[in-house]
Structure 1
Amino acid sequence: MSDFSPGQRWISDGEAELGLGTILNVDARSVTVLFGASQETRTYGLRHAPLTRVAFGSGDRLQAADGWQMTVDDSKEVDGLIVYIGEDDSGELTELPEARLADTMQFDQARDRLLTGQVDRNDWFDLRFRTLHHHHRIEQNPALGLAGARIDLIPHQLYIADEVARRHAPRVLLADEVGLGKTIEAGLILHRLLLSGRAERALILVPASLTHQWLVELLRRFSLEVTLLDEAQSQAHGQANPFEAGQLVLASQDWLFANTHRQAQAEACDWDLLIVDEAHHLDWSEDEVGPGYACVERLAAKIAGVLLLTATPEQMGLTSHFARLRLLDPDRYHDLAQFRDEEQHYVEVAEAIDALERLPGEAADRERVTAVIDEPDSLALLDTLADAERAEAQRQSARDQLRDQLLDRHGTGRVMFRNSRRHVGGFPERHLEVVSLEAPSPYRRVLRRLGRDEDYLDELLIETGLDHPEVLIYLDTMYRALADDPLNTEPWWQFDPRVTWLLERLADTAEGGFADDKVLVIAHDRETAQGLAEALRVLGGFHAPVFHEGLTLVERDRAAAAFADEEEGCQVLVCSEIGSEGRNFQFCRHLVMFDLPLHPDQLEQRIGRLDRIGQRHAIHVHVPVFTGSPGEKLLRWYREGMDAFSAPHGLGSEIFAAFGDALADVLLDDESLDEVIEETRALFEARLAERNAGRNRLLELNACRHERAEAVIEAIRTLDADKALARYLDQALDIFGVDSHELGGGLLHLQPSPQMLDGLPGLVKGEEGFSATLSRGRALARDDIQRLSWEHPLLREMMERILNGTMGNTALALLKHPAIPAGRLMVELVFRTHCPAPKRLHLNRFLPPTAVRVLLDESGANLTDKVSFTGLAKNLQKVKKAVARDLIKSRLAQLRELIDRGEGEAERELPSIIEAAQGRMRAELDAEHTRLEALARRNPAVREDELTALRDERQALDAAIETARLRLDAVRVIVTVGDETR
C-alpha cells in the first residue's frame, strides 16, 4: 500500500491545509499530486515524498465527492486502489472507491498520535495554542502586509498601498512626484499581495542602473528576497527557462528589451504581477512602437496585475501619458483623440468639488455640482448639504460623501495615483545659491569669437563633433573636443575656476562651507565627472568616488555606499547625469550642479536625489556659472521662465518642447533671450493654472483619502505596540533552538544554537546570526539591524511550521491541586476551523484558522468557561515521555470517549463562527460591489472584469465558508497527582 498509483489518496505531511490529494502521475523519479480543494498541484521526489497514505478502518465516517456519507465496515484492494464497503445514511450497503472521496475530508492527526502514545512537550502545546490565537487576530488585522515594512508611517504611501492591494488584479500607474516614495508604494503592494496569497510570482523590470538598488530596497525594507536575472545567470540555467528560477524575478529593462529570446521566455511564464519602473522611457506613438513598449505591452496583456512607476506621467506629453494608460487598460484607453476630449471634463469636476466647500451658499455653487451629478443618491446628499436648517454634522457628512462620490465616479484615481509635494507637505525648503565666476581665457577665447563671427558656430560643431547647444553650455567638453588646438596644452580642470571654488568650499569650516557636510556633485558627462574627481584628488587631496554609466552595477553600488557611510565614508560623490536617476541621497543636503542640464526634467531629477520625503534639512543647490556665458543665460531661463529651482511642477517637457529650439538660438543674444523668457513665463503660468484646476486637482484629492490613511496607520501602530509579540518571540525562539542575547537599547542578537531546527530564515548553523529590534524607530535609524514584527520571515516561518505541522499537537501533563483527588483525568482539546480554498481568495481575512477550546473532566463535564487556558497552563508540571505513554495506554477507552464528547461540544460553536465569517465577508464585498457598480455607470476606468471577479470572489468565498468544518488540532491529557508524586 506504500507504492504510489494514480487515483490513490494521500495527504501532505507538511501542508495538511491543502486537503486530500489525488495521485495524478508517477514516474521513475517523481510523483505528482493534485489537491482539489485548494486547487494546488505538487510534485515530489519519489524517494522522500512527504506524503501519508489515507486508509480508513471500520467505524470511520467517509464523505463522497457528491455529498453522501457512509460508515466503513470493511475494505478491499482493487488494482492498488482501496474500495470501502459500508452503509450509507439510509442504511443501504454500498461501496465507495477512494478516488471518489471528497477532497475536503478531515484527518484527526492529533487523535491518532495521542492514542498511539506520541506526546510532545507541554511548552510546545502552549506555543501551538498561542500561535493559533495570534495568527487568527493578525490575519484579520486591516494592516496585514503593511505593518512589517521598515518604513515611516507616511499617509499617502499607506493609503495607496492599501487601496491598490485590495483590488482584484490591480492595474495602476504610480505617478507621485520625485522623492515621494513610489518604490516604497510598489514594495508595500507587492508585500501585501504575497502575504495575503493574492500573488505568488512577480516580474520586476527596472533600468539597469537601478537593479541593485531595487534588490537592496526589497530586502532591507520588506525582507523580500528576489532573483536578480541577467544574461550570465540565464546562460547558467542551460536550456531551462531562467525566469522559472524564482518566485520574484528582478531584471534589467536594458537587457530584456534588447533580447527577443529572453522576452519569449519571460512571456512563457505564469506571473501574477508585473512591476515596471521608469515607465516614461517606454516609447510609443500612433505611428511607431518602441521595442521596450512592445515587450511590456505583450507581458501586460498576459499578466493580471500591473504596476507602472513614473514620476513624469504627463511631462513627456499627453500622448506619452496616454501610452502608459493604454498598457493598463487598452479597452478603456484606445482612442487618443477621445482621451484629449476627456481632459476638458476634469475642470468641471474640480470646480464642483470646490463648490461643495461653500454650500449652502449661492445658487451658482449648487449648479456647478448638479452639472456633473444626476444619480439619486448624490442628489439626495446635495439636498441635505444645501439645506441650511440641517445640523452641521449632517451637512458635513453629506459633503464628505459627495466629495468621495465625485472623486470615485468622475475622477482619474482608479488607474492613476499622483501625489505632489504641495499636497503632501512636510518637504524641506530649497535654497538656490548661484556663484558667478569669470570664465578662464581658453573658454573666453572661443566665446568671444562666437560673438564676433556668426559662422564660427557651424565650424565649431564640425570641428568638435558636438551638438548644438551642448557645445555652448558645456565649455570643458568643448575644450576637450578641441584637442588639436595648439593653445590647449593642459587639462581643463587645472584652470577651470569652478574646480578652485569647489575645493575652497570643501575645505571651508565657516558657515556656508562644506567641511562638515556630504556633497553630491553632478556634471553632464562622464569625462567631466572623471576629470573633476581627478582634480579633487590631485589639487585638494579629496577622495571622491565617481558614479557614471561606464561602471558595472557593483562598482556603482560600491561608489554610492562609500558616499553613504557616515563614519568612514567619503565627503564627496561625483556623478555624471546618470547619477540623477533613481538613486536616493537624502542623507545629503548640498547639491553642486557643476553644469546645468539642458532639459528641465533632468534638472528636477538632479534635485530630487536629495529633495525626497524623509529629508530633514533644507536643500542647498549650488550652481557655479560663468558671467555672460550661455550657461548663465540657461540659468536665467530656468529661474525666470519657470521657477525651476523652487519646487517640481511637472511642466518641464511641455515647456521645453515649446521653447527648446528658440532657447538654443538665443544663448548668444541677450535681447532675444528676454523675449523667450517672457513667452516661457506666460505659457508656464497658463499651464500651471490649467493643471491645478483640472486633472491634477482631482488627482491630489484622490491620491490620499486621509481618513482611510489614518485608519491604516492606527492599525499599524496597534501592531507595533503589541506587547504579546515580545512574549511570543521569546517562547518561540527558545523552542526552535535560537539563542537570543540582549544588547541593550532595545536591541537583541539572534544566533543559532547547536539544537536549532534547520531552515529558519536568516539563521544558519555555524554562522553568527543577526541583530534585530522590535522598534520601528530604531530599525529606521540603523540599516544594519533587522526589524522583527509579526510579518518578518522568521516569525512567519515559525508560525507556519507550527500550524502546518504536528509540533505540539499532543501533550500530557500533571496537575497538583489540593482540592482535586489524585488520579483524576481531564482532557484539553483544541479544535481548529478547516476550510480549504484557493489562496487567491484570501479567505483568512474573514475566516482565519479559528481555535475552539474544550476542557472536559473525566465525567465529561465541560469546564471550559470555568478554567482558562493560561490559568491552567501555569499550574501544570511536565512528565517523562515513558510515564506519559503508560498513562495514555491505561486510559485509552476513556480518552476515546472524551475526545468524541469534546467533538460534540466544539461542533456547537461552529455555526456561529460560520455565520460571523459570512457576515463579515458579505458586509465588505457587497458594499464594495455596490460602490463599483455605481462607479462603472459613470467612470469607464472601472473594468467589467473587476465587477465579474468581485461577484465570482463573493460566490466562491460564500461556498468555501459554508463548507468550514472543525478538526481536532491538538489534545492535552491532564492527570491530577498527590503530593507524593514526582
Structure 2
Amino acid sequence: MSDFIPGQRWISDGEAELGLGTILNVDFRSVTVLFAASQETRTYSARQAPLTRVVFGSGDHIESAEGVTLTVDDTKEVDGLVIYIGIDAAGEWHELSEAKLSDRMQFNQARDRLLTGQVDRNDWFDLRFRTLHHHHRISQNPALGLAGPKIDLIPHQLYIADEVSRRHAPRVLLADEVGLGKTIEAGLILHRLLLTGRAERALILVPDSLTHQWLVELLRRFAIEVTLLDERQSQAHGEANPFEAGQLILASQQWLFANPHRQSQAEACAWDLLIVDEAHHLDWTPEETGPGYACVERLAAVAPGLLLLTATPEQMGLESHFARLRLLDPDRYHDLERFRAEEAGYVRVAEAIDALDALPGDAAALDTAATVIDDADSRALLDTLADPESDSAQREAARTQLRDQLLDRHGTGRVMFRNSRRHVGGFPERRLHVARLDPPSAYRRVLRKLARDEDSLDELLIETGLDHPDVMLYLDATYRALDDDPLNGEPWWQIDPRVTWLLERLTEMGRDKALVIAHDRRTATDLAEALRVLGGVHAPVFHEGLTLVERDRAAADFADAEDGSQLLICSEIGSEGRNFQFCRHLVMFDLPQHPDQLEQRIGRLDRIGQRHAIEIHVPVFADSPGERLLRWYREGMDAFSAPHGVGSELFDAFGDELAESLLDDEALAEVIDETRALFDAKLAERNAGRNRLLELNACRNERADAVATAIRELDADRALPRYLDQALDIFGVDSQDLGGELLHLRAGPQMLDGLPGLVKGEEGFTATRSRERALARDDVQHLSWEHPLVREIMERILDGTLGNTALALLDHPAIPPGRVLTELVFCTHCPAPTHLHVDRFLPPTAIRVLLDESGANLADKVSFTGLAKNLQKVKKAVARDLIKSRHEQLRDLLTRGESEAERELPTILEAAQSRMRERLDGELTRLQALARHNPSVRQDELDALRDERAALDTAIEGARLRLDAVRVIVTVDKETRR
C-alpha cells in the first residue's frame, strides 16, 4: 500500500491512451485510479497493478491544470507527492504539485513515453525507421503521384499529366482525339494534385450518361473515391449545402445546368479544381451564352484550377474553340477577331520549326526560321545551328532548345494539349464491310413516295411527325410511324432484311463480341426483341431511358469475357464516352447524320491499346438515302479510314445540301466533289498551322521517357514487398498468396481499425504488385507505394506513436554485460501549408545517432540493419524496471544525442534549399522569358511561383529536429539472459 498515495500521477501500461491518471483510493487489496481526461476510472490489484509512476526530471516540459507550461529545473517530495520547481515562458519561477498537473498531458513524444516506461515491440521500432527511410526516398521520386494508378505507361499521357500537374492552379484544355485517353490524363493530374497536397477539393462535371463510368474509373484506376451528387442526394441534406458533403464531388452536367439553386450552392464552395468533360457541348457565341456555359464560366471564375476535356475542340468551328479557351483565361482570350489573326500566323511558326531540320546548309530554310525569331538568345541558337563549323552535338543541342522555345512561345500549346492518332501512332487498321441489301416492299413504297415530288415529302413529314432527313434515312422509324398498329400492323423487324443479315454475321463471328449501334432508342429495343424471337439471341440494350445502374449492368454483361453476352445493342447514346476496346466488331445498323457522331461510334472500339483491326459492318439499302449518305462519308472525307477532325466543318458547309441531295445521284456527286475539295484543303491547313504546333508540343518524348523510367523503377522496387510483409503483419492484415503474382488481403482478427478497403468480417480484396496483372483484371488492385492502404499505414506510423520507443537486449562478446546503448532517430520537422508540397525538397529526413555510455556516437560504425538482427526482445515489465533504474543516465544520453544530431541539420537544410532553388529558379526564369513572347503565361502564375519560392525558402530555413524514436539497448551475457 505504501507504493500508492492519493494524488500521485500514474499511467496505465496497457491503456496508455487513457492519459494521465490520479490515485483516488488505495487499500491493502486494490488501488483506484481516475483518468479524468477520458472520464474513465479503473480499479487494480494493489500488488500487481499494471501502472507506471510518472515523474519528470530536469529539462522536461510539464503543464499545469490551468494551462501554464513549465520547464522543470528541480524536484522535491512532500508527503509522498512530487513537487516540481520550474520556470515558465515569462521567466517566472513556480512550484507545482504533481496532483495539479494537467490531466490532458499527452505522452506522445518518444522522450516522454520512454521515461514513463511506455515501450513498444522492437519490430515496431524497426518498421518505424524503415517507414521514415522509404517515405524520404519516395517523396523525392520524380514520378510521385503518377506511379500508383492502374494505367499503361503511354508517353503522351504521362507527359501531359506531368507537365500540367507541376503548374500552379493548372488551367488547360485536354483535347486529344477520341480514344487517346483524356479521362486517364485528367485522372492522373487529379491523383497527383491530391497526393501532393496541391489540391484538396474538386468538382467534376460530366454528361449524365458518363457519371457512373467516371465514378468507377476514378475508383478502379486511381483509387479515388468521389461523392456522386444528384437531386435525391441533395435533398437528403435538407437546408445544408450538398456540395459540402465531400471533398471530391461528381455531378451530372444536365442536372446542375438545369438547376439555378444548386448552381449557386456549387459556386459558394471553395474548389481547388474544376473538371468538365465533353466541354464542346457548352454553347457560346459573341451574342448569346448558353446556360451550361454560363454555369461553368461562373465556377471557373472561383476555382483556381480548371481542366476542360473535349475530343472536338476545333471541329465545331473556331468560334466554339475560342469559347473553350475563353473559360481558361478570359483576360488572354477576350477578342475573337484578334484570335483569328493569331491563328493565321501559326503557319509560319510551324514552317520555321520544320525548317530547323534542314540546317545547316539550306539558305531558304535559314530564312524561313529567321522570320519568327525576334530575340538575341534565340538568334544565337540559330547562328550555332546554321554554322557549318559547329560540331554535331552543339547543333543538336541548339536545334532542340530552339524548337522548344518556338513551341513554348507561339500558339496555344501551354493551355491546350492535343495529340492525334497519326502523331501518337500504334492504332489498329479500320476495315469497312458494306452489305448492300434490297429494301422490303413497304420501304420501297416510302422511297417511291419520297422521290415523287416535294409535296409528297412534306406530306410524309406531317404524317409521321419525323424530322427531315430522318424520314428518309431511318426507314424503320418511318414505317413504325405509318403502320405501327399493335393489333394489325406487322412489326418492322419481321420485314427488315438487316435483322436476318445481322443474325448471319453473328454466326460468322463465332465467339467474337459485337457492338451494335442504332440511331433510335426504339429501333435498339425492337432489334433486341427481334434477335431473341428470330434467332434465340439474348442481348442487353443500352439507351438513354435506362438508369445509370441499368446501363452499367448492360455494359458489364457485355464486357464479361467468359459468360457475358456476345453483343450489346445501343442507341446513339452508346457512342458517347464508353470504352468497349475489348471488342473489335462494330455494327452500324444505320448511319448517323453527323460525322462527329460517326467517329464517336467508331471511337468506342478504336482506342489506344486496341490490339485488333476494327471490323466495321454497315448494312445499307440499295439506291436509298442511306446508301447515298454512306457515299458522302466514304468519298467526301474518308470518314471510315481514320479520324480527321474536320467533319464538323464539312457538315456545317454542306449539311443542308447533303440532305437535299439524298434522293438525287447527280446532286449528290456535286456535293461529294465540293466536300472532297474542302476536306483536302482543311487537312493541308491543319497540317501547316496551329494543329501542327499542338502536335509537336503535346508530347515531348524526352520528358515522357524520364517519367516512364521513374515509374518503372518504383514498380520494380524490391523494398516494397519486404516492407509490406512486415507492415501487414504488424497491422493485423492477413495476406494469402494466390499464385500468379496475386495476393488476397483481408482484415485479421487483430487488425487496427480504419484501413482502406479492409473491414473486419468482410472479404477484403485481391491485389498485385505487377502493373501488367492489374491491368488485365478490373477486380485486381495495383499495390504500389501510392496505394491507399500503403499510404495509410505509413501516415499512421509517421503521425502516431507506434514504434517510437523500444528496449532490447544485446549479447555481444566484445561488450561487457550491463552496458547501455541508446539508438536515437531524429527527424526533420518542417511545418508548412500542404499546397507547398515541401516534401519535394525536404521530406522528413532521419538522422540516426547510436550512443554508448560514454556518449560516443557509433552510428557510422554500426549499421541499423546489422544491429537490429542481433537484438533480442524483453518482457515489458522487465523493460520498465530497466528504464526506471537508468532514468538519469538516459536523460543525459538523450540530451547528448540531440547535440549530435543538430550538427547534421545545417547540411540537410542547405541541400534542400539548393534543390528547391535550382528547380524553382529555373522554372521562374523560363516562365519570365516565355511571358515576354506568349501571353498564355498568366501573371498570377508568375506571382504564385515567386510566392511559393519565398514561402519554401522560409519554411526550409525554419525546419527543426525532433526526436522521432528511441531504443534503449542493454548488453547481456548468456548467464544474465537465463
TM-score by length of 1: 0.90
Q: Which residue of 2 aligns with 1:482?
A: 482
Distance 1:94 1:893 in 2: 23
Matched, 1:564 2:559: yes
C-alpha contact (below 8 Å) 1:87/1:94 kept by paired residues: no
Cα distance, 1:306 vs. partner?
0.5
- Taking the aligned partners of 1:627 and 1:754, their CA distance within structure 2 comes to 70
In 1, the alpha carbon distance for the partners of 2:659 and 2:232 equals 44
Matched to 2:277, the amino acid is D
Deviation of 1:364 (Å): 2.0
Structure-1 residue corresponding to 2:921: 926
SS at match of 1:542: coil
Q: Pairwise mapping of residues 530-569 of structure 1 onto structure 2 (< 5 A)?
A: 530-569=525-564
Matched, 1:379 2:379: yes
Out of 794, 808, 817, which is 1:822 matched to?
A: 817
Aligned to 1:645: 640
Deviations 1:59-112 (A, max 9, x none): 4689xxxxxx9977699xxxxxx9995688xxx8799xxxxxxxxxx9981001
The reply on whether 1:581 has 2:576 as its aligned counterpart is yes
Partner deviation per Cα, 1:596-623 (whole Å, 9 max, x = no partner): 0000000000000000011110001100
Q: C-alpha separation between the residues in 2 aligned to 1:120 and 1:479?
A: 80
Alignment of 1:328-407 (within 5 A): 328-407=328-407
Question: Would the aligned equivalents of 2:124 and 2:802 in 1 still touch at CA under 8 Å?
Answer: yes
In structure 2, distance between residues paired with 1:736 and 1:497 = 64
Q: Cα gap change, 1:108/1:754 in structure 2, threshold over 3 Å: closer, same or farther? A: closer
**Counterpart residue type for residue 478 of structure 2:** M
Classify the secondary structure of the residue corresponding to 1:933.
helix
- Find the counterpart in structure 1 of residue 844 from structure 2: 849
Cα distance change of structure 1 residues 140 and 107 upon mapping to structure 2, 3 Å threshold: farther
Q: Whole-Å Cα distance in 2 between the matches of residues 180 and 472 of structure 1?
A: 35
Secondary structure of 1:455's counterpart equals helix
2:604 to 589, 609, 624: 609
Contact kept? 2:131, 2:798, Cα under 8 Å: yes
1:834 to 829, 837, 844: 829
Aligned partner of 1:707 in structure 2 is 702
Local SS of the residue matching 2:848? strand
CA shift digits 1:649-702 (9 cap, x unpaired): 110111000000000111111011111100000000001100110111001010
Distance 1:74 1:313 in 2: 75
Alignment-derived partner of residue 715 in structure 2:
720
Kindly state the Cα deviation for residue 322 of structure 1 after the two structures are TM-superposed.
Answer: 0.7
- CA deviations on 1:422-451 (whole Å, 9 max, x unpaired) are 000010000011111111110111112222
Of the three residues 795, 802, 807, the one matched with 2:802 is 807
Note the alpha carbon deviations across 1:168-222, whole angstroms, 9 max, x for none: 0000000000000000000000000000000011110000100000000000001
Give CA deviations for 1:120-165 in whole Å, capped at 9, x if unaligned: 0000000000000000011110101100010000000000000000
Deviations 1:355-391 (A, max 9, x none): 1111113222122222111222111111110111111
The aligned runs of 1:933-952 (5 Å cut-off) are: 933-952=928-947
Offset of 1:645 from its aligned partner?
0.5
Aligned-partner Cα distance in 2 for 1:877–1:313:
67
Aligned to 1:120: 120
Q: Unpaired segments of 5 or more residues in structure 2?
A: 1-15, 18-36, 41-54, 63-68, 76-83, 95-105
Is the CA contact (8 Å cut-off) linking 1:482 and 1:488 kept in structure 2?
A: no
Partner of 1:6: none
Opposite residue 655 of structure 1, the aligned amino acid is: L
* 1:483 shift after superposition: 2.3
Q: CA, structure 1 residues 84+268, in 2 after alignment: closer, same or farther (shift >3 Å)?
A: farther
Give the counterpart letter for 2:270 in structure 1.
Answer: D
Any conservation in 2 of the 1:234–1:242 contact (CA below 8 Å)? yes
Q: Structure 2 vs 1, CA of residues 412 and 444 (structure 1 numbering), >3 Å: closer, same or farther?
A: same
1:772 corresponds to 2:756: no
Q: How does 1:689-768 map to 2 (within 5 A)?
A: 689-768=684-763
Distance of 1:567 and 1:142 partners within structure 2:
40
Give the Å deviation of 1:452: 2.8
Aligned residue in 2 for 1:22: none
Aligned pair partner of 1:972 in 952, 967, 976: 967
What's the secondary structure of 2:557's corresponding residue?
helix
**How far does residue 514 in structure 1 lie from its aligned partner after superposition?**
1.5
Distance, in Å, in 2 between the alignment partners of 1:87 and 1:583 is 64
* Contact kept? 2:85, 2:93, Cα under 8 Å: no
* C-alpha distance in 2 between matches for 1:59 and 1:899: 11
Q: Give the counterpart of 1:894 among 889, 894, 898.
A: 889
Stretches of 4+ moved more than 6 A in 1?
45-48, 55-58, 69-75, 92-95, 484-488
Q: Take 2:57 and 2:346, find their aligned partners in 1: how far apart are those partners? A: 70
Task: Say whether the 8 Å CA contact 1:108–1:968 is kept in structure 2.
Answer: no
The aligned counterpart of 2:48 is none
Q: SS where residue 668 of structure 1 aligns? A: coil
User: Aligned AA for 1:637?
Assistant: W
Q: Contact 1:74–1:86 at 8 Å: present in 2 too?
A: no
Aligned residue in 2 for 1:225: 225
The answer as to whether partners of 1:211 and 1:252 remain within 8 angstroms in 2 is yes
CA distance in 2, matches of 1:47, 1:974: 36
How far apart, in 1, do the equivalents of 2:74 and 2:486 lie? 106
Question: Which residue of the partner structure matches residue 275 of structure 2?
Answer: 275
Q: CA deviation at 1:116?
A: 0.6
Identity of aligned residues (%): 80
Per the alignment, residue 178 of structure 2 pairs with: 178
How many angstroms apart in 2 are the aligned matches of 1:390 and 1:346?
A: 30
- Could you tell me how far apart the structure 2 residues matched to 1:819 and 1:835 are? 40
State the Cα deviation string for residues 11-30 of structure 1 (Å, max 9, x = none). Answer: xx99xxxxxxxxxxxxxxxx
The structure number with the bigger radius of gyration is: 2
- Of 903, 909, 919 in structure 1, the residue corresponding to residue 904 of structure 2 is 909
CA contact (8 A) 1:108 1:969 kept: no
Partner-residue secondary structure (3-state), 2:274: strand
TM-score, with structure 2 as normaliser: 0.90
Task: Provide the residue aligned with 1:686 in structure 2.
Answer: 681
Q: Residues 486 and 949 from structure 1, CA distance in 2 versus in 1: closer, same or farther, beyond 3 angstroms?
A: closer
TM-fit CA distance, 1:56: 11
Which amino acid counterpart does residue 779 of structure 1 have in structure 2? A
Structure 2 residue aligned with 1:4: none
Deviates more, 1:667-676 or 1:448-457: 448-457
- What secondary structure sits across from 1:801 in the alignment? helix
Offset of residue 772 of structure 1: 1.0
Alignment match, 1:191: 191
Q: What does residue 505 of structure 1 align with?
A: 505
Match of 1:519 in 2: 514
Find the counterpart in structure 2 of residue 204 from structure 1: 204
2:138 matches 1:143:
no
Kindly indicate whether the alpha-carbon contact (under 8 Å) linking 2:256 and 2:262 is maintained by their aligned counterparts in 1.
yes
Report how many residues are paired: 904
Is the alpha carbon distance of 1:47 and 1:371 closer, same or farther for their aligned partners in structure 2, counting shifts above 3 Å? farther
Instruction: Provide the residue aligned with 1:39 in structure 2.
Output: none
The CA distance in 1 between the partners of 2:191 and 2:74, in whole Å, is 50
Report the Cα distance in structure 1 between the residues aligned to 2:722 and 2:919, rounded to whole angstroms: 33
What is the distance in 1 between the residues matched to 2:485 and 2:766? 61
Query: Mean Cα displacement is larger for which, 603-612 or 106-115?
Result: 106-115
Whole-angstrom distance in 2 between the partners of 1:830 and 1:485: 84
Tell me, in whole angstroms, the C-alpha distance in 1 between the residues paired with 2:495 and 2:484: 18
SS of the aligned residue for 2:790 comes to helix
Aligned to 2:628: 633
Residue 256 of structure 1 aligns with an amino acid whose one-letter code is L
User: For residues 504-528 of structure 1, what are the alpha-carbon distances to aligned partners after superposition, in whole Å with 9 as ceiling and x for unaligned?
Assistant: 1112xxxxx2222000000001011
Cross-structure match for 1:444: 444
Q: Which amino acid aligns with 1:761?
A: P
Please say if 1:434 is aligned against 2:434.
yes
Change (3 A) 1:47 1:156: farther
Report SS of the residue matched to 2:419.
coil
Counterpart code for 2:110: A
Matched, 1:668 2:663: yes
